[in-house]
């Protein structure tokens, strides 16, 4: 259970770092995480007029420099703006809050979260699914129980944490109550 909390906390924090950028965010901050993600192949440059009017409005601060941006940066900005456009107002609000939290983090913490995100992305799909399920179970716990698990985790030595993670991996997944 403690391992589940640790993995969940890492995922939650990583997810906060990869939230889409709101319209009011400075241009240099638009989506930095996407720009740092590895791209499978170099993207072809995009013409400014190939963007939709909504994308152009969101990215208007980049219009003058658009042609000089690297193609992968153009691609990241275009993809991020399209994701933003497709979000509901509630999703945008949530993303804006996560981005604000991300910006408030020290650079070292951001880097750690980027590394954890890459570790998660390198897991096999079935392991990623297990992590997501653990995260969801943790989120559904009462706040008091989550706090108790956090405290318990903090008091463990690195060796104890390692053993807890290993034992949790070996344990079969918990049975779900019938609905």
DSSP string over the chain: -HHHHHHHHHHHHHHHHTPPPPTTS-GGGTTHHHHHS--SSPPPP--GGGS-HHHHHHTGGGGGGGGGS-HHHHHHHHHHHHHHHHS-HHHHHHHHHHHHHHHHS-HHHHHHHHHHHHHHHHS-HHHHHHHHHHHHHHHHS-HHHHHHHHHHHHHS-HHHHHHHHHHHHHSPPPPPPP-
Look at residue 100 and tell me if it is in a domain. Answer: yes
Q: Confidence class of residue 178 from pLDDT cuts 50, 70 and 90?
A: low
pLDDT at 65: 93
Domain that holds residue 157: 2-20+87-170
What's the total number of domains in the chain?
A: 1
Look at residue 63 and tell me if it is in a domain. Answer: no
Yes or no: say if 8 and 120 are a contact pair by the CB < 8 Å rule.
Answer: no
pLDDT at 46: 80
pLDDT at 33: 43
Does the pLDDT of residue 179 top 60, yes or no? no
Rounded distance between C-alpha atoms, residue 31 and residue 10, angstroms: 20
Span 34-70, pLDDT tens digits: 444 454 555 677 889 899 999 999 999 999 999 899 9
- CB proximity list for 178: less than 8 A, separation 6 or greater: none
Q: Confidence class of residue 168 from pLDDT cuts 50, 70 and 90?
A: confident
* Range among 28-32, 127-131, 161-165 with highest mean pLDDT value: 127-131
Look at residue 60 and tell me if it is in a domain. Answer: no
Look at residue 127 and tell me if it is in a domain. Answer: yes
Look at residue 113 and tell me if it is in a domain. Answer: yes
Span 77-119, pLDDT tens digits: 999 999 999 999 999 999 999 999 999 999 999 999 999 999 9
Look at residue 99 and tell me if it is in a domain. Answer: yes
137-153 mean pLDDT: 93
Per-residue CA distances from 127 to 100, 140, 151, 175 (Å)? 30, 20, 26, 18
Does the pLDDT of residue 31 top 80, yes or no? no
pLDDT at 75: 93
* Nearest-5° Cα angle at 25, 71 to 20: 65
- What is the overall mean pLDDT for the chain? 79
Look at residue 56 and tell me if it is in a domain. Answer: no
Q: Is 5 buried (19+), middle (13-18) or exposed (0-12) by CB count in 10 A? A: buried
pLDDT at 143: 94
Q: Confidence class of residue 26 from pLDDT cuts 50, 70 and 90?
A: very low
Whole-model pTM?
0.53
Look at residue 124 and tell me if it is in a domain. Answer: yes
């Amino acid at each position: 259970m403690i391992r589940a909390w640790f993995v969940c906390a890492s995922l939650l924090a990583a997810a906060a770092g990869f939230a889409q950028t709101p319209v009011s965010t400075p241009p240099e901050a638009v989506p930095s995480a996407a720009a740092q993600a590895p791209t499978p192949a170099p993207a072809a440059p995009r013409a400014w007029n190939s963007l939709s009017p909504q994308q152009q409005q969101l990215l208007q601060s980049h219009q003058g420099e658009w042609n000089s941006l690297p193609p992968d940066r153009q691609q990241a900005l275009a993809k991020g703006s399209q994701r933003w456009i497709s979000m509901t107002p509630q999703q945008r609000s949530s993303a804006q809050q996560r981005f604000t939290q991300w910006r408030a983090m020290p650079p070292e913490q951001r880097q750690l979260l980027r590394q954890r995100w890459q570790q998660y992305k390198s897991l096999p799909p079935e392991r990623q699914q297990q992590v997501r399920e653990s995260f969801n179970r943790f989120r559904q716990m009462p706040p008091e129980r989550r706090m108790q698990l956090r405290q318990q985790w903090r008091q463990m030595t690195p060796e104890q944490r390692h053993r807890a993670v290993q034992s949790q991996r070996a344990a079969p997944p918990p049975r779900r109550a019938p609905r």
